[in-house]
């Protein structure tokens, strides 16, 4: 055992060093070179469709063994259409401007000293994720374009698919004159190895875990480097006393039902008591018709006894399912307090025609994304025009909300003088 | 003991909650209100000069008891001039634009959805620092202007002075209609209490330690919230083969001697072998004349036997004194490798007239600040035009280099629609 741990530790460090060396070369890579590699990757994905599908079949054949749910199997499964979508995703990243080298600000002092803040890559990103194979391609493309080396640690359920995708991407990266270790894949499925990688803060600059809350908490606990993440997306929609109730109903239904299993779906709806009588009966009818299970406060239950009584724990639960918590509040302030207490800092929306209520909500709710008269489902890198996203952050430092290329960079101060001293 | 710890834990949480509540009010404070408070603080500092000096005398009287060095006593000592400088520092912060509410970018989709990134305060900053009393005033002014509440934990050596400064600032903050708990002072000198505060990540958004490396490592180890810091400033000056040697000598002497006890002073000088013969004898003569102790590689020692032999450990040492490590290198690449191996990621400078060498150095050296033909001493919030600085970061995430008002903020996505759904 002691030997295994020592071997794992040195294996992890060797992987991390390889990526670290690649990162030094990527720091100076030109935009054209990176874009050429990405274009070649897109073409290669299309050309190798059969090989990718064959590997995917091998993963699908093991799905029962790993006990995947039908939803998980569906996320794992590739098709010609899904491979085409991956290739287009890479081309969309090619089309984005290179963030590296951007002069964020510049200041020239009276004595001629030039001070610039220049955008530079972070270095090495450790990306830990589950199931969907397209995430492998997105992560490599985003990291390469932003000049970072990436260490990929995907789930065992997609091991064959990820292996093929990784190999063909690395070949194209090398062919473009960039280091093969720009994308290092962790090919041993061992949780201890992840633990060891998370100790390598000398070589790895950032860890990004994407998956269930358990995975993310484990990563945060073990990591010595910074972690970009959200634990959960417990998103709220607040229907104000001055809401357009038709709009409110459309937004609530969309936020809960359009895709209930994702982090930006609504989990709790708060309704101002002044509109509860007019709003709730119709809303509840529609939600029940759509198969939503509802847990509500006593006031909510008075409108429909199919509403189950909500407990404290229900208001802290990210359902990720056709389930919804509901509460009638006496004021905008009570809604803001409820969100401060139970929210996860991800995305919250207010529906109102009162501009003052909207401003108060947008200012006082301390979440990564706050919305007025729009569905929480719209909080997404693609919808926000970032291109693909590497994740969504509920942290306050560095990056908040959907994270794209810019969030995979840092800056340095570059100072040019002509003998300036102090 | 168990009781004490429990009491300390609940005392720490109570302090943190007070600041957290104040932060909610500060989030909506107007720029004029914050500036009015700051202007009143500046006036009050001048008006209370006698009381401040009296408290400072009480601290100075205990300096022996705490074993302060003459340099530390000098940093602790206030004078009418130093109080005037504090007041002017606050007025300089008033003159800076309010960072809160700045629209960082804006994007309006074809369907009319408006997506903005808006600068907002972080919330609560825990500031842990040593000795100089003007830092107390700077920290409160920077945090207030950026809309953050601050918890101040200064050193025991300055307890009386900090107490007076804190009390008069809080009075002016309240008088301006802002919450008194915008600046909470930790008035118990207990290291355990700091440990408990560092557990309060629910209420404290960021910890900033300023002081010795030991203090900072302790804070990083204990903190559950992010920490903005640098461990040390092991800054390098590299004199290239194409350097203007007169300029190089002026820069090296300035970087080492102008104020050797600070983080942006140079600790190691690297010299290209092609210019060692012409450069080193004169430089060594001047440095010895200025009382600098030099530890050099074998090549350096050949020029002057007063140079002590440098060990591996010397190249990893932040001298903070009139001491300097020195090494002759064979190439620019060797200089870059030396910096990657021994540097602290703070500030490094190249002296050269070769623009290609300069570009390579500025690109490949992965430090917060990289400089061409300028002294490392110029890496400073004031010199960079940020106004005062709350610290200098060698982290890569969130903020790098000198940190001012902007670095005390985060952003949120503010989305405005008219019933937009997905």
DSSP-derived 3-state class of residue B136: helix
Going by pLDDT thresholds of 50, 70 and 90, the confidence category of residue B422 is very high
How far is Cα B293 from Cα A390, in angstroms, rounded to an integer? Answer: 50
B401: left (phi over 0), alpha (psi -120 to 50) or beta: left
pLDDT surpasses 90 at A5: no
Are residue A16 and residue A95 in the same domain, yes or no? yes
Are residue A371 and residue A244 in the same domain, yes or no? yes
How far is Cα A314 from Cα A198, in angstroms, rounded to an integer? Answer: 33
Vertex A181, ends A176 and A182: CA angle to 5°?
65
* Element spanning A392, H or E: strand A391-393
Are residue A156 and residue A177 in the same domain, yes or no? yes
What's the confidence (pLDDT) of residue A3?
62
* Element spanning B119, H or E: strand B114-121
User: Would you state the structure tokens that stand for residue A193, as one six-digit string?
Assistant: 């190895």
pLDDT surpasses 80 at A408: yes
pLDDT surpasses 80 at B131: no
What's the confidence (pLDDT) of residue A1?
47
CB B358 within 8 A of CB B364: no
How far is Cα B50 from Cα A363, in angstroms, rounded to an integer? Answer: 42
How far is Cα A48 from Cα B338, in angstroms, rounded to an integer? Answer: 44
| Number of neighbouring beta carbons within 10 Å of residue B103 | 11
Edge-to-edge strand list for the sheet holding B149-153 = B183-185, B149-153, B124-129, B206-210
pLDDT surpasses 50 at A330: yes
What's the confidence (pLDDT) of residue A319?
95
Vertex A239, ends A334 and B105: CA angle to 5°?
95
Going by pLDDT thresholds of 50, 70 and 90, the confidence category of residue B3 is low
* Closest-CA residue of chain A to B414: A370
Going by pLDDT thresholds of 50, 70 and 90, the confidence category of residue B59 is very high
Residue B340 CB contacts under 8 Å (≥ 6 apart), including other chains: A24, B365, B366
Write the pLDDT tens digit of every residue in A358-393: 999 999 999 999 999 999 999 998 889 887 889 999
What's the confidence (pLDDT) of residue A387?
78
**Percentage of chain B modeled with pLDDT above 70:** 99
Measured between beta carbons, the chain B residues lying within 8 angstroms of A402 are: 413
How far is Cα B186 from Cα B127, in angstroms, rounded to an integer? Answer: 10
Going by pLDDT thresholds of 50, 70 and 90, the confidence category of residue B386 is confident
Nearest by CB to residue B372, choosing from A251, A400, A416, is A416
How far is Cα A149 from Cα A182, in angstroms, rounded to an integer? Answer: 4
How far is Cα A117 from Cα A415, in angstroms, rounded to an integer? Answer: 9
In a domain, B422, yes or no: no
Could you identify the residue written with the tokens 């001298």?
Answer: B319
Give first-to-last CA distance, chain A, whole Å: 57
CB A187 within 8 A of CB A14: no
Going by pLDDT thresholds of 50, 70 and 90, the confidence category of residue B4 is low
DSSP-derived 3-state class of residue B234: coil
Measured between beta carbons, the chain B residues lying within 8 angstroms of A113 are: 374, 378
Closest chain A C-alpha to B166 CA, distance in angstroms: 27
CB A150 within 8 A of CB A125: yes
What's the confidence (pLDDT) of residue A4?
64
What's the confidence (pLDDT) of residue A191?
82
Are residue B250 and residue B210 in the same domain, yes or no? no
CB B399 within 8 A of CB A228: no
Could you identify the residue written with the tokens 């629910």?
Answer: B202
In a domain, B388, yes or no: no
CB A90 within 8 A of CB A143: no
CB B40 within 8 A of CB B176: yes
User: Would you state the structure tokens that stand for residue B50, as one six-digit string?
Assistant: 């006698």
How far is Cα A150 from Cα A391, in angstroms, rounded to an integer? Answer: 14
In a domain, A421, yes or no: no
Are residue B190 and residue B92 in the same domain, yes or no? yes
Cross-chain Cβ contact B251/A372 below 8 Å: no
For chain A, what is the largest distance between any 2 Cα atoms, rounded to a whole number of angstroms?
79
Write the pLDDT tens digit of every residue in A72-101: 898 899 999 999 999 999 999 999 999 999
What's the confidence (pLDDT) of residue A14?
96
pLDDT surpasses 50 at B246: yes
* Domain around B254: 235-382
Of B187-196, B357-366, B407-416, the one with minimum mean pLDDT is B187-196
Cross-chain Cβ contact A397/B419 below 8 Å: no
What's the confidence (pLDDT) of residue A212?
87
Cross-chain Cβ contact A421/B113 below 8 Å: no
Q: Does B389 touch chain A (CB under 8 A)?
A: no
What's the confidence (pLDDT) of residue A131?
72
How buried is residue B226: exposed, middle or buried, by Cβ count under 10 Å (0-12/13-18/19+)? buried
In a domain, A422, yes or no: no
Phi/psi of residue B267, each to 5°?
-115, -25
CB A17 within 8 A of CB A158: no
Q: What is the DSSP letter of A331?
A: S
What domain count does chain A have? 2
How far is Cα B307 from Cα B302, in angstroms, rounded to an integer? Answer: 9
pLDDT surpasses 90 at A349: yes
**Residue among A85, A55, A203 nearest B366 (CA):** A203
Measured between beta carbons, the chain A residues lying within 8 angstroms of B377 are: 421-422
DSSP-derived 3-state class of residue A244: coil
Cross-chain Cβ contact B362/A414 below 8 Å: yes
Are residue B178 and residue B51 in the same domain, yes or no? yes
Of A187-191, B19-23, B198-202, the one with minimum mean pLDDT is A187-191
| Number of neighbouring beta carbons within 10 Å of residue B77 | 17
* Closest-CA residue of chain B to A351: B419
Measured between beta carbons, the chain A residues lying within 8 angstroms of B228 are: 397
User: Would you state the structure tokens that stand for residue B104, as one six-digit string?
Assistant: 């960082």
**Percentage of chain B modeled with pLDDT above 90:** 88
Give first-to-last CA distance, chain B, whole Å: 57
Nearest by CB to residue B396, choosing from A367, A410, A420, is A410
Average pLDDT, chain A: 94
Residue A364 CB contacts under 8 Å (≥ 6 apart), including other chains: A336, B24, B27, B28
Nearest by CB to residue A373, choosing from B107, B120, B419, is B419
Cross-chain Cβ contact B401/A412 below 8 Å: yes
| Cβ within 8 Å of B, A 85-114 | 107, 109, 113
Could you identify the residue written with the tokens 């060498």?
Answer: B357
Phi/psi of residue A388, each to 5°?
-65, 165
* Closest-CA residue of chain B to A369: B413
Q: How would you label A19-54 residue by residue, b for 16+ Cβ within 10 Å and e otherwise? A: bbebbbbbbebeeebbbbbbbbbbebbeebeeebbe
CB B262 within 8 A of CB B312: no
What's the confidence (pLDDT) of residue B1?
47
Measured between beta carbons, the chain B residues lying within 8 angstroms of A316 are: none
Are residue B324 and residue B223 in the same domain, yes or no? no
How far is Cα B295 from Cα B310, in angstroms, rounded to an integer? Answer: 5
CB B389 within 8 A of CB B382: yes
Phi/psi of residue A301, each to 5°?
-65, -25
- Which stretches within B146-236 are classed as H helix? 159-175, 191-197, 213-222
Measured between beta carbons, the chain A residues lying within 8 angstroms of B362 are: 414
In a domain, B393, yes or no: no
Count of CB pairs separated by less than 8 Å, A with B: 197
Are residue A254 and residue A274 in the same domain, yes or no? yes
Phi/psi of residue B262, each to 5°?
-115, 165
Q: CA quadruple B92, B98, B100, B102: dihedral positive or negative?
A: negative
CB B269 within 8 A of CB B324: yes
Nearest by CB to residue B368, choosing from A122, A368, A413, is A413
Question: Which of A243-257, B125-139, B388-402 tops mean pLDDT?
Answer: A243-257
| Number of neighbouring beta carbons within 10 Å of residue A337 | 13
Write the pLDDT tens digit of every residue in B250-301: 999 999 999 998 999 999 999 999 999 999 999 999 999 999 999 999 999 9
**Residue among B194, B193, B173 nearest B183 (CA):** B173
Q: What is the CATH number of the domain that holds A329?
A: 3.40.309.10
In a domain, B302, yes or no: yes
How far is Cα A168 from Cα B314, in angstroms, rounded to an integer? Answer: 46
Distances (CA, A) of A385 to A134, A378, B118, B134, B206: 19, 11, 16, 45, 30
Please state the separation of Cα A415 from the chain's center in Å: 34
Write the pLDDT tens digit of every residue in A171-201: 999 999 999 999 999 988 788 999 999 999 9
CA-CA-CA-CA dihedral for A92, A98, A99, A100, to nearest 10 = 150
Average pLDDT, chain B: 94
User: Would you state the structure tokens that stand for residue B130, as one six-digit string?
Assistant: 């040593």
Are residue B212 and residue B343 in the same domain, yes or no? no
Edge-to-edge strand list for the sheet holding A323-329 = A308-309, A293-296, A323-329, A266-272, A235-239, A347-351, A369-374, B409-420, B114-121, B103-108
| Cβ within 8 Å of A, B 202-231 | 205-206, 226, 228
Are residue B91 and residue B198 in the same domain, yes or no? yes
Cross-chain Cβ contact B244/A419 below 8 Å: yes
* Closest-CA residue of chain A to B203: A340
In a domain, B394, yes or no: no
Are residue B46 and residue B141 in the same domain, yes or no? yes
Q: How would you label A225-239 residue by residue, b for 16+ Cβ within 10 Å and e otherwise? A: bbbbbbbbbbbbbbb
Please state the separation of Cα A74 from the chain's center in Å: 20
In a domain, A387, yes or no: no
DSSP letter for each residue of B275-330: HHHHHHHHHHHHHHHTT-EEEE-HHHHTT-TTSEEPPHHHHT----SSEEEEEEES
Q: What is the CATH number of the domain that holds A40?
A: 3.40.605.10
Are residue A224 and residue A88 in the same domain, yes or no? yes
Strands A323-329 and A266-272: parallel
Task: Among B265, B366, B395, B407, pick the best mutation site for testing chain A contact (most A Cβ within 10 A).
Answer: B366
């Amino acid at each position: 055992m002691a030997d295994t741990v020592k071997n794992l530790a040195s294996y992890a460090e060797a992987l991390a060093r390889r990526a670290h060396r690649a990162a030094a070369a990527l720091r100076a890579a030109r935009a054209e070179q990176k874009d050429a590699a990405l274009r070649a990757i897109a073409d290669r994905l299309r050309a190798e469709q059969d090989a990718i599908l064959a590997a995917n079949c091998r993963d699908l054949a093991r799905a029962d063994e790993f006990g995947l749910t039908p939803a998980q199997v569906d996320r794992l499964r590739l098709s010609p259409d899904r491979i085409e979508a991956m290739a287009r995703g890479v081309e969309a990243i090619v089309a984005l401007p290179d963030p590296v080298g951007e002069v964020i600000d510049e200041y020239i002092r009276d004595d001629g000293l030039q001070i610039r803040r220049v955008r530079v890559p972070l270095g090495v990103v450790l990306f830990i994720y589950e199931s969907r194979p397209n995430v492998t391609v997105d992560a490599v493309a985003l990291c390469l374009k932003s000049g970072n080396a990436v260490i990929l640690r995907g789930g065992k359920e997609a091991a064959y698919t990820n292996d093929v995708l990784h190999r063909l991407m690395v070949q194209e990266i090398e062919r473009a004159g960039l280091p093969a270790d720009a994308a290092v894949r962790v090919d041993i499925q061992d949780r201890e190895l992840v633990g060891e990688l998370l100790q390598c803060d000398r070589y790895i600059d950032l860890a990004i875990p994407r998956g269930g809350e358990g995975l993310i908490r484990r990563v945060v606990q073990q990591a010595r480097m910074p972690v970009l993440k959200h634990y959960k997306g417990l998103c709220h929609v607040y229907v104000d006393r001055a809401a357009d109730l038709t709009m409110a109903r459309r937004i609530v239904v969309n936020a809960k039902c359009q895709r209930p299993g994702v982090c930006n779906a609504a989990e709790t709806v708060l309704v101002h008591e002044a509109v509860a009588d007019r709003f709730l009966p119709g809303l509840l009818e529609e939600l029940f018709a759509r198969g939503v299970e509802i847990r509500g406060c006593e006031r909510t239950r008075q409108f429909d006894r199919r509403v189950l009584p909500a407990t404290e724990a229900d208001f802290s639960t990210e359902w990720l399912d056709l389930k919804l918590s509901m509460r009638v509040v006496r004021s905008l302030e009570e809604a803001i307090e409820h969100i401060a207490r139970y929210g996860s800092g991800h995305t919250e929306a207010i529906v109102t025609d009162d501009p003052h209520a909207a401003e108060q909500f947008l200012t006082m709710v301390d979440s990564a994304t706050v919305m007025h008269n729009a569905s929480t489902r719209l909080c997404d890198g693609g919808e926000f025009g970032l291109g693909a996203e590497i994740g969504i952050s509920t942290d306050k430092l560095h990056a908040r909300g959907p994270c794209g290329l810019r969030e995979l960079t840092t800056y340095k101060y570059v100072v040019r003088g002509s003998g300036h001293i102090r």
